[in-house]
Structure formats: C-alpha cells, structure tokens
C-alpha cells in the first residue's frame, strides 16, 4: 500500500459483491478502511469471511461493528421468519423480498460516513447491484445518489469547504457474471467469500435467492463455482 493513497471506507460483508468492490477500490489506488457489521444476521458466518478477506487483500484497518437489527426484526435474515428457498426468477423479480432488512444499507452507509468523516476520507464504496437482483430498494442508483447528496449536507465537510463525499457503487450496472469476471481479473479468490442467507456451518444451502443468483453468475461467467454446498 502506498502511503499517498487516498483513504476510502469500504463496506465489506464478506460476500462476492463486497469483496469484488474492495478489490476494485484497491485497484483504483485507494487505501481501504473496511467496515463490517455483526447486526444479528442468521448468516453471521460471513463476518469470519470478511475478516479473512480484509486480511488477505490488505486493508489499512478493519472494524466489525456490533449493532442489533434483530431488536425489531422485520426480515427473514434477522428474525425467525424462514429464508425462502427455490424461488423462481419470476418470483425474485416481484416486489421486495422478505430477506430485505429494513434500512440496513442506510444504517451501514451512515456508519461508513461517520468513520470517513473522522478519518478525513471522502470516498465510500458499497457493492450494491441493481441488475441481477433489483428487489432491494436500497440497492438502486437513485438511492445511492440520494445518500451521496445527504452525506454532503450531513457533515462538517460541506460547511467548512473541505471536500465532497462520493459514494462509489462500481458494481451497480454489472451482471453477476461481469462482477465475477472483474473480480477474477483482479485476483479475487471467491472460495473465501460467503453469500448464503441460510448456511449450515460453513456450507451454503444452495437454495436461497442469494445462493441461486451466485451460482447462476458462475455458470454465466463460464467458470467453476468454488462454493461448498450442503
């Protein structure tokens, strides 16, 4: 890492998308400060993946922040609502899925903004994607643009003319296959990433929306799926 690199806060869940985003941030010359959350998710095994990925890819610092979104639930990921399995593509394209966690990305980006402001960083990376799975409202380009606008009103930076926050969402318009190809070109080892919403130990279920989309991405990219399934 070059000490002249610009600092950037990178949201890192430990999944395929955020890991690719971290690799892109590094490739673009940023010094990444990785931020992960133990938020009461069923798939908390992803936190271990995030730790290993942050260490292997090399980050300036990694925080895992504990917050309790299971306090009010409202999602299959944070309550006893079952994670849906074997949904068709048509089902997935219809409405907001029950795996949506209310305001999760807004909370994550707010923390990223707080840390960025303390660091003096103006760049935030998030691995949201609106192509292969647009059911989440907080993964849309208009959402990211609205958060960027908010960030520049919320902080001292705007008042003191220090700089302008940019929220980077480099995967926004890519298919899952394009994301995988880009990550592989940057040397990402996807066997280290965790995607499944309903894992058994370290093994992916293979049937939740996240598993299905991930697997289809590897198939479409024409590369072997390194995921270990139940």
Q: Which residues contact 152 (CB under 8 A, 6 or more apart)?
A: 158, 164, 165
**Residues linked to residue 61 through DSSP beta bridges, in sequence order:** 33
Shortest CB 137 distance to a copy of itself, Å: 5
- The sign of the dihedral angle between the CA atoms of 166, 46, 86, 81 is negative
Dihedral (Cα; 72, 77, 79, 81), 10-degree rounding: 130
Shortest CB 51 distance to a copy of itself, Å: 16
Shortest CB 74 distance to a copy of itself, Å: 4
Shortest CB 219 distance to a copy of itself, Å: 29
What DSSP element (H or E) covers 29?
Answer: none
- CA nearest neighbour of 221 among 173, 177, 184: 177
Please, which residue, 106 or 175, has the CB nearer to a copy of itself? 106
Please, which residue, 167 or 205, has the CB nearer to a copy of itself? 167
**Taking the CB of residue 63, how many other CB atoms lie within 10 A of it?**
14
Shortest CB 73 distance to a copy of itself, Å: 7
Q: Which residues contact 127 (CB under 8 A, 6 or more apart)?
A: 11, 13, 15, 17, 18, 19, 20, 21, 169, 170, 171
Please, which residue, 109 or 204, has the CB nearer to a copy of itself? 109
Please, which residue, 82 or 95, has the CB nearer to a copy of itself? 95
What totals of helices (H) and strands (E) does the chain contain, helices first?
Answer: 8, 5
Please, which residue, 12 or 151, has the CB nearer to a copy of itself? 151
Shortest CB 202 distance to a copy of itself, Å: 28
The angle that helices 209-221 and 176-185 make with each other, rounded to 10 degrees, is 60
Contacts with a copy of itself, residue ranges (CB under 8 A): 63, 65-69, 71-74, 95-96, 100-107, 109-111, 113-115, 117-119, 137-138, 140, 142-143, 146-147, 149-151, 153-156, 158-160
């Amino acid at each position: 890492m070059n000490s002249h690199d610009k600092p950037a806060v990178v949201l890192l869940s430990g999944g395929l998308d955020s890991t690719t985003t971290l690799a892109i941030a590094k490739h673009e010359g940023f010094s990444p400060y990785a931020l992960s959350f133990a938020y009461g998710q069923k798939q908390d095994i992803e936190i271990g993946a995030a730790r290993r990925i942050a260490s292997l890819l090399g980050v300036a610092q990694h925080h895992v922040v504990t917050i309790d979104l299971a306090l009010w639930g409202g999602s299959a990921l944070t309550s006893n609502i079952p994670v849906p399995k074997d949904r068709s593509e048509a089902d997935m394209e219809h409405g907001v899925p029950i795996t949506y966690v209310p305001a999760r990305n807004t909370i994550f980006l707010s923390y990223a903004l707080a840390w960025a402001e303390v660091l003096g960083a103006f760049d935030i990376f998030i691995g949201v994607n609106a192509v292969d799975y647009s059911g989440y409202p907080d993964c849309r380009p208009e959402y990211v643009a609205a958060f960027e606008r908010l960030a520049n009103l919320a902080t001292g930076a705007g008042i003191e003319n220090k700089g302008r926050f940019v929220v980077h969402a480099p995967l926004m318009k890519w298919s899952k296959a394009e994301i995988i190809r880009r990550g592989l070109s940057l040397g990402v080892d996807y066997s280290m990433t965790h995607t499944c919403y309903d894992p058994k130990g370290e093994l992916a279920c293979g049937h939740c929306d996240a598993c299905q989309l991930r697997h289809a991405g590897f198939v479409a990219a024409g590369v072997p799926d390194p995921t270990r399934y139940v």
